[in-house]
Every structure is written in structure tokens, then in C-alpha cells.
Chains A and B, each alone.
Chain A
Amino acid sequence: MHPERVYFYGTCLVDLFYPEAGMAGIRLLRRAGVEVLFPDGQTCCGQPAFNCGYWEEARGVARSQVALFPLDIPVVLPSGSCAGMMRNHYPELFHGEPDEARVRAFSGRVFELTQFLVDVLEVKLEDLGEPVKVTWHSSCHALRDLGLAGQPQALLGQLANVEVAPLARERECCGFGGTFSVRHPEISGAMACDKAADAVATGASRVLSTDGGCLLNVQGALEAKGAALRAQHIAEFLWERTHAR
């Protein structure tokens, strides 16, 4: 069923670092004939505190966010990690709380962007760009926490002039892991460097992902290497390729 309206949740990393990806996500949804609402007051899904064991703090933030989405319409996020948090971990976080039922109802409406474009809207994309080679990195949380099953690859597969070069150890973590990247910067940095090296070895001009955390991490490692390859959010790339200028 094709919904008429959806909420868009920007996420803190997209808000601060990848606003173009957020705008692209909104435009992709609108072009598919969906009205997009962007509630004011969005901050963060609360995942960092949840993952570190500070659940009261995470709940406070999560509660303030859930209140922004009262209508019974889908909530779409340009992030597999935050979508996984809201969809799968909010029910656990609010277990036994007075507003558990309300939060559970909200969780059931949460979708990651590519998941929504493919599974719900069944979008068909037309590639308007020049031939380009890209490579794909799955975000661990999108892949294993949310359970994204090939939707981003399906979208990229619709683009006639885009070659997706396989990334060695594609399913291996890039080393971001939220607070992991600053608590264990040496290990995290080694993982990011290896991921960047694998990406460079593909000969692609961009490494794409669904998640701002991975992008920030891989881009940082690419910059440290002085590589020409750039990390980009899949929404921004899809919009770039399919939008008539």
C-alpha cells in the first residue's frame, strides 16, 4: 500500500554532517508521490547512551523524539543504525514503562530509507548520469541489527550507468561503532584504515553506504590516506543520478 504521507527523521549525523543526504532522501520520497513531514525539534535517537548502558538518559531523549511523531504514518530515516535503534531497541528500552505501548506503536512505523523506497514504494529509478564506478559498504547495524536485505543494492542495480565494484570484506565493520571509535581509537582507526584501503583497491570513485557514522569514519580514513575516493550517502548519490538538472 502506497502511503500518502510520511515523517522524515533526519538523525543527528545527517543533520550536522550530511544535510545533502537528508535533502536527497526527502526529494526521493516526494518524487515517489509521498508528502513528507519533517517535525521540528528532532535531535537524536538516543542510541549512544543506550549502547553505553545509560538507559535513563537514553529514555529521556527517546521520549522527547517519539512525541514529535503523533500521526499513524511511517517514519523514514536515512540511517540503518538509528532505524534499528528505534525499531528494535525502543521496545526493550521502554519495557515496563508507562508509555511502552505508545513507543511500541511508534517503533512499528519506523523504516530505513532504502528499505522504504524498495519494499513499500517500489520505486523505479532512471539513471541520467555518466558512467561511473562505485563500491558499496554495508553498515553493520543496517545489515545485522535492522536486517536490511539487499535493498540498497537493488536500488543501485536499477542504475544503468553505475558499475558497483565489489568491496573486499564488504560485510566487515568499518570500525565506527559510535563511542567505540573514541574509546578504542587505535583499533577503530586500524579498522577504518583497512576499510579505506579495500575501498581504494576497487578503483571506484565513491564508496557508498546507508549510514552517516560509516561515512564519517571511512571518509576520515580516506582523507588521512590522501585518497581521491570519496564516501557518500546512498540517498545523495541516488538523487544525483536520477534528478534532471
Chain B
Amino acid sequence: MHAETGFRESAAQALGDPQIRANFRRAMDGLMAKRAAQFPDPADLQALRSLGTAIRARSLLKLPELLEQLEASCLRNGIQVHWARTCEEGNELILGLLRARGATRLVKGKSMVSEEMGLNHFLEEHGVEALESDLGEYIIQLDQETPSHIIMPAIHKNKTQIARQFSQKIKDAKYTEDVDELTALARKVLRRKFLEADAGLSGVNFAVADTGTLCLVENEGNGRMSTHVPALHIAVMGLEKVVETLEDVAPLYALLTRSATGQAVSTYLNLVRGPRGPGELDGPREVHLVILDNGRSRIYADPQLRATLRCIRCGACMNHCPVYTRVGGHAYQAVYPGPIGKILTPQMEGVGVRHELLHGSSLCGACSEVCPVEIPIPEIIVRLRREATHRDPGSSVEGRGTGRTATEDLAWRVWAAVLSRPGAYRFAAWCATRFRNLIPGGLPLLKAWTLARGKPVPARRSLQERVREEGIPHG
């Protein structure tokens, strides 16, 4: 499904769409303001971030043992645990669970891991209807699109676009741009689906190792419906989502909702402890947890790259990224767009195939500045750019060295040769300044630069010449 065209082409396409640009700019400006309002005191924010970072780092440090503990706790609670090394394994596992119970209708709460697995498509191919019940996910599913943001999947659309789409795709729907009416329309469809569903699927925001509790953060109640109404509940999570205790959840939850949507708390926080107990009137009869690896244990193996797994999927890095704001999530052609996607996708799929994505960053650092768990995204980008072009022994990065091209290699060699030799640099500088108006605009780099900017013209004389004339001592 990915990378039929490159990031560059799809970004250029998005840039040419004024509607996309306006929708994202407005949405991201709003989200940045909402987050800022939640953190009025920089010292409080930093204290909470440090705590969140420490919790996630500690959880990762103990990851293997916490996962074992989680499995034991879940089993004690009656939650059956399954391990999937790859997305294919995960899909087969879930299909197997559904088939064994004759389930053909699945309602889904939002789950990025299931997007990662391409689960909907897989299930449909095998005769299972998988309906997204998160409003944003439902909207994009109607259009057979993928999410353009990990928290707000339909953020690229405005209400007029949604109104048009609902009136065309929902049976008996009248055209309206009233947001409340549009929401009510979706709710009506979804209510029926919740009742009819054989199974519900959800993601997991935090899995608590010592109690076997699955925490699910949401705003619409669809998560609760998906996990409690059908007889079968399947939760899917990446293996990094585990934390030690329930006490760890509170600060992470506070960071998550504030960073993501600027909410102090979300409307719902579901804590799933297991299936319906004896004498209980509601809840699923069976709960299963699918724990997916898909390259995560490889990321885990590298001490620097491991920080990638601290991510709590709040999307703040996207909201604050000047590149994401310009091109939107679809341009990345990846499940996880934006800054976190720039480091996660190449690590999952290989740094060579995702080379271009790695370079789609000005390294401005806005992402790491707002990241609630302080993932050093720009540093990891630089590290992965190195991995893409080198085959360092001892590295476990997928596809390392495969992004290297002979042209680029030569360019950097020449660059280094000129800049390590003062005489060569002086000569180049002399040429650039003396022939400043003669530099052909058709040179590849200059041509790219002048797409949107005037041609840069070197000064008449360089600083080094000026310094010499003024007699500044060399030391």
C-alpha cells in the first residue's frame, strides 16, 4: 500500500492543494494553542515530562520481564495472551479467533497497531466486516482512506467535505453541515453496529504488568462500546506499551491527553481487567490480548534507538511539526506520519527504502521540544541517516547501508576534500565571490533552491578577505 510515489512527490502534491494546506494549518494552530493552554507553567511541564520520560525509560529497561509479568497477570484475570512476531502472524491470529467463534461482524475502537497490520483489509478479504467506530476513523473508512493523523484520523477534512460524504454514503442521510447533526447521523449507524457485532477490537494505551489491566483512552465512548458490548473483545498492542504499575499510568495519562488534544482528561478512560465475572450483567465473555513485535524488539536492542519506543502516541510531534503542517499525514505514505513516523517507519520497514522520509526534516527540533517523553527525534533522524548510508558492524538497523548512492558518496568526498584544505576553500570562495553573478541558475542545487526563492548571490569579497584587509591578527 505504501511508497508507490515518493514522499517528495506526494508532499508536492499536498502543497499544491490549498484545501489540504488550509485544513492542516488551522487544525495544527488550534492544537498547538490548546496544548500550550494546558501547560501554563514551564517548570510544572518539565517536571511532568521528566517523570513521564523516567517511567517510560524504566519500563523499557525492564521490558522482557514486564512482558512476562503482564502475560501472567492477564492470564490470572482471564485475559488470554497471544504473541505475534509479524503483522501477518497478528492478522492470522485474529482471524483464527474470529473464525473459531463464527464471528463475521467486528466493531473496532481506534487502534494504530491494527492500521500497522493492515487488519481491516485482511479481514475483509476473509469475509469479516471490520467497522471503525471512532468518528474520525469511521469518516475515513467511508472514503477508503487511511488516517492522516494518529489521534485525529480525519483531521485533513473539513465539515463541508464530511457533510458531502455522509449525504452520499450513508443511507437516507440528508445533506447538512451542522456538526451535531452529522455526529448524530454517525452515531445512529454505529449504535446498531455495536449491538449486532460478534466481536470488538481495541488498541491499548498502557498495559499494566502487575495488575494485568489494559488502559484505553478515548473521548467518544465507542471504545467502551467496542470492548464491552460484543461477547468477544480482542485488544492489540505493540510490545512496548507495557508499564509496571497502575501508579505509572496517572502521569502518562496526564501527559497524553494534554499533549494530544489539549484536554486535562479525556471523556473516557477504560480499564479492562478481564471478561465478565460470575453474576456480572455486562462485559465480554472472552478477552484476548494480541502483543505485536513487528520490528520492535530489534529497535529495543539498540540503546539509542530504544528511545523511539518510549512514544505514547500523543501526536504532539505532528501537531508542532512545520513539515507535517504543510503536507499533512498522507504525504508520508506511512501508518505513522510526522516526526515519530520519520523515525519509526524506517526502523520497521528499513532505512534504505525510507531514505527520503528521513531527509524530509529540517531538524528544527520542534518535535522533541514538545514530546512528553522527550524522545530525541532529530538526533535519531541523524543517526538513521548515518545507518542508511553505512554498514557499521554491530548495528542492528534494518536495511542499513542500502540508502547509499554513488553520486552522494562522491559529493561528500569532494566536499570534505575542499573543506579540509584551506587553500582549496580559499580558491572556491574566491571564484564564488568574483564570479558571483555568473553562477548558472541551472545548477541542480541552485535550481531546487530557486523554485520558491531568489537566487542567492555571494558577497563581493569574503569575510576572510575583509579580515585580512583590516589587519585582524590570525593568532
In the complex, which of the residues B366, B408, B464 contacts A42, with contact meaning CB atoms closer than 8 Å? B464
| B residues 419-470 in Cβ contact with A at 8 Å | 419-422, 425, 429, 432-433, 444-445, 448-456, 458-459, 461-467, 470
A117 within 8 A of B: no
Known: A37-B474, A54-B412, A221-B452. A187 touches B459 (CB 8 A): no
By beta carbon, the residue of chain A nearest B327 is A187
Known: A17-B459, A23-B470, A187-B360. A192 touches B416 (CB 8 A): no
Known: A37-B474, A185-B452, A220-B453. A43 touches B425 (CB 8 A): yes
Q: Give the complex CA separation of A52 and B358 in angstroms.
A: 10
| A residues 141-178 in Cβ contact with B at 8 Å | 141, 143-145, 171-173, 175-178
Which residues of B lie under 8 Å from residue A64 when comparing CB positions?
419-422
Q: Give the complex CA separation of A19 and B387 in angstroms.
A: 36
Judge whether B386 and A55 touch: CB under 8 Å: yes
A53 within 8 A of B: yes
Judge whether B461 and A19 touch: CB under 8 Å: yes
A124 within 8 A of B: no
Q: Give the complex CA separation of A38 and B471 in angstroms.
A: 10
B85 within 8 A of A: no
Q: Give the complex CA separation of A201 and B384 in angstroms.
A: 38
Known: A145-B365, A180-B363. A37 touches B425 (CB 8 A): no
By beta carbon, the residue of chain A nearest B385 is A53
Q: Which of B7-15, B143-151, B293-301 lines the interface with chain A?
A: B7-15
Number of residues from B at the complex interface, CB < 8 A: 67
Which residues of B lie under 8 Å from residue A181 when comparing CB positions?
362, 448-449
A91 within 8 A of B: no
Which residues of B lie under 8 Å from residue A14 when comparing CB positions?
463
Judge whether B466 and A191 touch: CB under 8 Å: no
Known: A36-B472, A51-B382. A16 touches B459 (CB 8 A): yes
CB distance from A207 to the nearest CB of B (A): 14
A71 within 8 A of B: yes
By beta carbon, the residue of chain B nearest A52 is B385
Which residues of A lie under 8 Å from residue B398 when comparing CB positions?
none
Q: Give the complex CA separation of A190 and B360 in angstroms.
A: 13
B323 within 8 A of A: yes
Judge whether B429 and A16 touch: CB under 8 Å: yes
Judge whether A17 and B456 touch: CB under 8 Å: yes
Q: Give the complex CA separation of A117 and B419 in angstroms.
A: 29
Q: Give the complex CA separation of A7 and B307 in angstroms.
A: 38
Number of residues from A at the complex interface, CB < 8 A: 76
B359 within 8 A of A: yes
Q: Give the complex CA separation of A20 and B458 in angstroms.
A: 12
Mark A26-44 against chain B: 1 for CB-CB distance below 8 A, else 0.
1000000001111111111
Which residues of A lie under 8 Å from residue B15 when comparing CB positions?
186-187, 190
Judge whether B452 and A190 touch: CB under 8 Å: yes
Mark B15-27 against chain A: 1 for CB-CB distance below 8 A, else 0.
1000001000000
Judge whether A224 and B453 touch: CB under 8 Å: yes
B133 within 8 A of A: no
A22 within 8 A of B: yes
Judge whether A53 and B454 touch: CB under 8 Å: no
Q: Give the complex CA separation of A46 and B419 in angstroms.
A: 8
CB distance from B385 to the nearest CB of A (A): 4
Judge whether B449 and A185 touch: CB under 8 Å: yes
CB distance from A220 to the nearest CB of B (A): 3
Q: Give the complex CA separation of A219 and B458 in angstroms.
A: 13
Report which A residues bind B (CB closer than 8 A): 7-8, 10, 12, 14-20, 22-23, 26, 35-44, 46, 48-58, 60-61, 63-64, 71, 140-141, 143-145, 171-173, 175-193, 216-217, 219-224
Report which B residues bind A (CB closer than 8 A): 8, 11-12, 15, 21, 322-323, 326-327, 359-366, 368-369, 378, 382, 384-390, 408, 412-413, 415-416, 418-422, 425, 429, 432-433, 444-445, 448-456, 458-459, 461-467, 470, 472-475
Known contacts A60-B420, A220-B449; 8 additional CB pairs below 8 A are A7-B475, A51-B385, A63-B420, A173-B322, A173-B362, A177-B363, A186-B11, A187-B11
A–B Cβ pairs within 8 angstroms, 6 of them: A15-B464, A48-B415, A49-B415, A190-B21, A219-B454, A219-B456
